[in-house]
Structure 1
Amino acid sequence: MTVAGKHVQARRRILESARPLISQRGFSAVGLSQVLEAAQIPKGSFYHYFESKEHFGAALLELYNEQYLQKLDALIAERGKTGFEKLSAYCQCWVDAQQHGCLNEKCLVVKLAAEVSDLSERMRLILEEGTTAIIARLACMVEEGQQDGTITKALPARLAASVVYQTWLGATLLVKVTHKQTAFEDAFVATRQLLAS
């Protein structure tokens, strides 16, 4: 492997090793030495891979967006499911990731939005870009459901998708606060009622 290839591989390992730490503790609470230790990269070499902790945070969020959108694209491409079934599967995946998933599957938007949006405009913009793209993907599922008759046309697809996404973000925050799954149950009910044809 070339030197450049090894550099890219090590950088990716740092980002992937850092994600569970940051999902659990937050961005500010995780030190660079902890990140390097988790990635098994020699201490003191962080700035060989990233200009700053902000640059590292931006790269982490970009990778998160990329991976999240790939999962959504795969769900959209599934054949044999209605638009409503795809959206329901998305909601179930959300619950599964928050309840039973490993820390790598937790929603970084929920964990970091309030924290990093005040710390870094660059990171805020990456979060905004990611959430905009997520809502656009959800709108594709709503449009598909509206065309196949499984989702109501009472709301424009993008507005319905935005409300669904906001509902699930809010539900996840409430679950974190209450340590009860009731908010997810309520979110399922609200989503079904919003979309029912």
Structure 2
Amino acid sequence: MNSQIRSARQTILESAQAIVGAKGFSAVGLNEILQAAAVPKGSFYHYFASKDAFGVVLLDTYFDNYVHGMEQLFSQADVSCYTKLMRYWQAWIDNHTGCTDTGKCLAVKLGAEVSDLSEPMRLALQRGTSRTIDLLATALRQGVQEGSLSIEQDPQSLARRLYALWLGTSVMGKINRTTAPFDEALGLTRQLLGQPEYPANHNDRGTGK
């Protein structure tokens, strides 16, 4: 793939993320995406075999970027795993309640919609969410080892539970249009991590003492 094709393909994906994030997948026509990307009509199939194939690439690209951001956050030095995790969820809240690009929320926006419409896209969502949960589980294990977390569940199981909690919270936030579901989720998350009163913004290492 030469640089021109790669650039046009990336432009389509970047333009589509915001549009699909705002409207959903089924409601968005290819012409709308191509116009936003300033790519000539009819050229879409030069880059993607079908709309479903495009959706798979869109989700895979989204999760690649999402996971990269998580890895950067969790690799911060001289900060406890508890603090890193709480920063992750605070960023989640900010993304869903602030004036941010709606295209950043594809997992929440498309989870229910495309899972019933497209098996390849459902599998892309499954791959992406599994990668996210695995990173959360790793952070949980490290937090237990360093002493900043005190959890009663298996880290992998707790990571799945927490991710499901925050996905559901995001949906309720959309329905209620308030921050109350996020406040409740944040409190429950602190309890599940064994640090209900632990200062999330404390720049510490290890036990934080």
Encode CA deviations 1:121-149: one digit per residue, 9 max, x unaligned: 11111100111110000011111110111
Q: Tell me which stretches of 4 or more aligned residues in structure 1 moved more than 2 Å.
A: none
Report what 1:5 is aligned to: 3
**2:151–2:194 CA contact under 8 A, matched in 1:** no
> Which gives a bigger RCO, structure 1 or 2 (Cα 8 Å, sep 6+)?
2
| Cα RMSD after superposing both structures | 1.1
| SS of 1:119 mapped into structure 2 | coil
2:44 is aligned to: 46
Listed one character per residue, the Cα deviations across residues 44-80 of structure 1 (whole Å, up to 9, x for unaligned) are: 1111111111011011001001000000111111111
State the distance in 2 between where 1:45 and 1:132 align.
33
* Unaligned 5+ runs, structure 2: 196-209
Letter in 2 for 1:83: C
| Residues 83, 143 of structure 1: 8 Å contact kept | no
Amino acid at match of 1:23: G
Q: TM-score, normalised by structure 2?
A: 0.90
Match of 1:80 among 60, 63, 78: 78
1:19-48 C-alpha deviation (Å, 9 max, x unpaired):
111011000000000000010001111111
**1:163-182 map, 5 Å:** 163-182=161-180
In 2, Cα distance between the equivalents of 1:102 and 1:126?
Answer: 22
1:95 aligned partner: 93
Following superposition, the deviation at residue 85 of structure 1 comes to: 0.6
Cα distance between partner residues in 2 of 1:192 and 1:173: 20
Distance in 1, matches of 2:70 and 2:61, equals: 14
Task: Please report how far the alpha carbon of residue 87 of structure 1 lies from its aligned counterpart in structure 2 after TM superposition.
Answer: 0.6
Q: CA deviation at 1:86?
A: 0.8
Q: How many residues align?
A: 194
CA shift at 1:159, angstroms? Answer: 1.3
